[in-house]
Amino acid sequence: MNERNLAGLAATVLQPGFVGTAPPDWVRRWLADGLGAVVLFARNVVDPEQVAALTATLRAERPDVLVAIDEEAGDVTRIESGLGSSRPGNLALGAVDDPALTEEVARDLGDELAALGVTLNYAPDADVNINPANPVIGVRSFGADPHLVARHTAAWVRGLQSAGVAACAKHFPGHGDTRVDSHHDLPRIEASRGRLDSGELVPFRAAVAAGVQAVMTGHLLVPALDPDLPATLSRRILGDLLRDELGFSGVVVTDAVEMRAVADRYGFAGAAVRALVAGADAICVGGERADEAAARYLRDAVVAAVLSGELPEERLAEAAKRVGQLAEWSTAARLGRPADAPRPVDGSPVGLTAARRAVRVSGDPAGRLPLPGAAHVVEFAPPHNIAIGAETPWGLGAPLAELLPGTTTVRLTEADLAAEPADLAATTGDPAGGAAGRPLVLVVRDLHRHGWMRAAVDRALASRPDAVVVELGVPELVTGRLHLATHGATRAATRAAAELLAGTR
């Protein structure tokens, strides 16, 4: 095969991102030359009409192009990054544990994505959050019970794909038992093969049985499966386990190859080539490297690897064929659907209903709920999580102020508290500002993972034992006389908590 044809195959297996709210010229040129997919991020999204126009422009260049997005419909949202998701995330759905509801929420999301022209969603997160200290999964998981995660993973896949959008279960073979974020370093999963079979692999088996169209690899070193190579680069894990043992025949997509877990060890292009050799079919890139130079660098490296014999031509052709088969599935799924207009940005009614069902109250609510009037809210802000995105707003103060006018809010970081020790005035409201005597609401995210946050909350509760604690993360640590757990920091979750506090439902 000549180099031009090889370049076309190499472009087919790339799934790059780009900058801008309309496709740049280089993306349009590449689509004409064989590019198989693009990935949308929050930076590409303004409103539904703009996204629909963007995807229509892409399809004018290549009708069967796969348009992917990383939309978990929870704390990780791209289509609602400006407001926060109007749907609850996985942990909230797992807390309700109603697979029919999970399927309904996923179908509702799928309908919205389909109307926008999105055809591949990098979701659901099928990880079992075995380690509560996990810094990157947490509320993105349905929970810590493998069988609960499995039934909701399968329901999510069915719901999303019934709307004509391909699901992608991630992060194979399971990112739940780690204290390391693979954006920064390579996690090592120290589990026996027996534990993997009864734990991490259970939801992926369920996803395959449910007909999931794609699986995303995790940049994870799992010695029980391969002592030398991370999953994304491991033939044992992608071939022997995922293909042969689990029977998966769809598209294997890598997690972003610029992530440091693999790029620091094998190089940006080296990781992409090794992933294809190992059995991956599509290379995700563009969260951080989103220009033509990066895409060209990967394409040329893939071609060079074929010419040198490092990557067999048959393996590249097989990968491109699978991408083409997914595009065919996607095209057929779209043809079977009505041409819905993009939805307005007013949120998901079923999402709010699900979020309300997910709120859990601990302690004694008698005489404490609803709050008697305007409150003072203190939000403790943990470090930024790359997967969630700094652009996504969160917090309880704003929705509570809508329901209880006069409510005030202060947000504190670890640096804030280090610069000015958290005395009574700093954490429970400045008496001079009129906050003294008001109901106090302490808002936390993953309180159990942040010692500085726990110390500040303990000091506040010592001074104001009547304070209400609202946990927007994983409710591993329940404290205070009255505690609300939303199982996520989405717009829907905080609205549901605000309604309980204000007594409007």
The residues that are catalytic are 183, 255
Token match 């309908």: residue? 111
DSSP type of residue 477: S
Contact criterion met (CB below 8 Å) for 172 and 233: no
- Can you tell me whether residue 305 is helix, strand or coil? helix
* Preceding amide of 405 cis, omega within 30: no
Contact criterion met (CB below 8 Å) for 435 and 470: no
**Parallel, antiparallel, or unpaired: how do β-strands 360-363 and 482-485 relate?**
antiparallel
Record the tokens describing residue 193, joined without a space: 């093969």
Concatenated DSSP letters of 335-391? HTS--PPPPPSS--HHHHHHHHHH-EEEE--TTTSS-SS--EEEEE-PPPPTTT-TT
Contact criterion met (CB below 8 Å) for 207 and 265: no
Instruction: Give residue 318's identity as a one-letter amino acid code.
Output: E
Count CB neighbours of 244 within 10 A: 10
Q: How far apart are CA 126 and CA 122, in angstroms?
A: 11
Q: How far apart are CA 272 and CA 306, in angstroms?
A: 13
Which residues are within 8 A (CB) of 453 and not within 5 positions of it... i.e. 6 or more apart? 380, 382, 414, 444, 447
Contact criterion met (CB below 8 Å) for 457 and 442: yes
Count CB neighbours of 391 within 10 A: 13
